[in-house]
Amino acid sequence: MIVEARNLKKIYKNNRGLHEADFAIRRGRIVALAGGNGAGKSTLIRLLTNQEKPTGGELIWHNRGIVRYMPDDVDFPGMLTAEEVLGLLASLKKVGKAEQDEILKRVGLYEVKKQKVSSFSKGMRQRLNLAQSLIGGDGLIIMDEPTNGLDPYWIARLKEMMAEERSRGATVLFSTHMLAFAEQLADDVIILHEGRILAAGEVERLLQDHQCRHLEDLWLQKIGL
């Protein structure tokens, strides 16, 4: 186990946020944080990445290690090239040039690594965002809506890369509003709705226990539709 939450809360003035969350993230798993807009996914990610402090409860880290983070959007300096952006981040983690080039190849940006980021499309910037999250370590990777801006080919490649990271010993937590995508990829899922956890655990076990064929059916069952 990497981290567990006990009665974790982050409540904002409008009473939105995260209410009494209990869950555990196990090592070497792909974990989907699934739910619609306003479900509490981003709030939970901000707590896990220490961008915000909880208003109640606790996060208990059993082996934090290096947490790699892919935000939902990054405004990279447009005057820098992809190679320079990755190089700056890699220097902080003491990652060599060979690994930087390998990561750029994995995300399809090696051939354009000397182009300025200002010339990149949204999808290319998202792939650079993915690249920086892959640098260094084999601990926890947190990805906030990683499919944003990606076309079908790169969504398929993203799935492959997440599985590759798991095979290397990493744990991957990603947020998504697409329950079918979560079901295809994740070992475990945490389903959120209006700031509360509807269900959490191993995908196959949850579907069996609730006699559902798909996570969409489980979500509809839990919200009473």
User: What domain range is 55 assigned to?
Assistant: 1-66+140-150+170-225
Is residue 164, in this structure, part of any structural domain at all? no
d(CA 164, CA 30): 11
Task: Return the closest-CA partner of residue 5 out of 45, 38, 51.
Answer: 45
Q: What are phi and psi of 105, to 5 degrees?
A: -65, -40
The fraction of the chain above a pLDDT of 70, given in percent, is: 99
**Is the predicted pLDDT of residue 131 greater than 60, yes or no?**
yes
Give the pLDDT score at 43. 94
Question: Which amino acid, 210?
Answer: H
Give the pLDDT score at 16. 87
Is residue 101, in this structure, part of any structural domain at all? no
Q: How many CA atoms lie within 13 A of 33 on its CB side?
A: 28
Is residue 86, in this structure, part of any structural domain at all? no
**Is the predicted pLDDT of residue 140 greater than 60, yes or no?**
yes
**Is the predicted pLDDT of residue 204 greater than 90, yes or no?**
yes
Give the pLDDT score at 158. 95
Three-state DSSP class for residue 189: strand
Three-state DSSP class for residue 24: strand
Is residue 127, in this structure, part of any structural domain at all? no
Is residue 106, in this structure, part of any structural domain at all? no
Residue 190's pLDDT band (boundaries 50, 70, 90)?
Answer: very high
Q: How many domains does the chain have?
A: 1
CATH of the domain at 223: 3.40.50.300
Is residue 212, in this structure, part of any structural domain at all? yes
Mean pLDDT of all residues belonging to the chain: 92
The fraction of the chain above a pLDDT of 90, given in percent, is: 80
d(CA 211, CA 36): 22
Segment 100-114 shows an average pLDDT of 95
**Is the predicted pLDDT of residue 137 greater than 80, yes or no?**
no
Give the pLDDT score at 75. 87
Three-state DSSP class for residue 157: helix
pLDDT 10s digits, 17-66: 999 999 999 999 999 999 988 899 999 999 999 999 999 999 999 877 77
**Is the predicted pLDDT of residue 225 greater than 70, yes or no?**
no
d(CA 130, CA 107): 7
pLDDT 10s digits, 78-104: 999 999 999 998 888 888 999 999 999
Give the pLDDT score at 8. 96
Is residue 184, in this structure, part of any structural domain at all? yes
Three-state DSSP class for residue 205: helix
Higher-pLDDT residue of 203, 89 = 203
Is residue 2, in this structure, part of any structural domain at all? yes
Cβ neighbourhood burial of 147 (10 Å; 0-12, 13-18, 19+): buried
Segment 122-145 shows an average pLDDT of 91
Give the pLDDT score at 1. 87
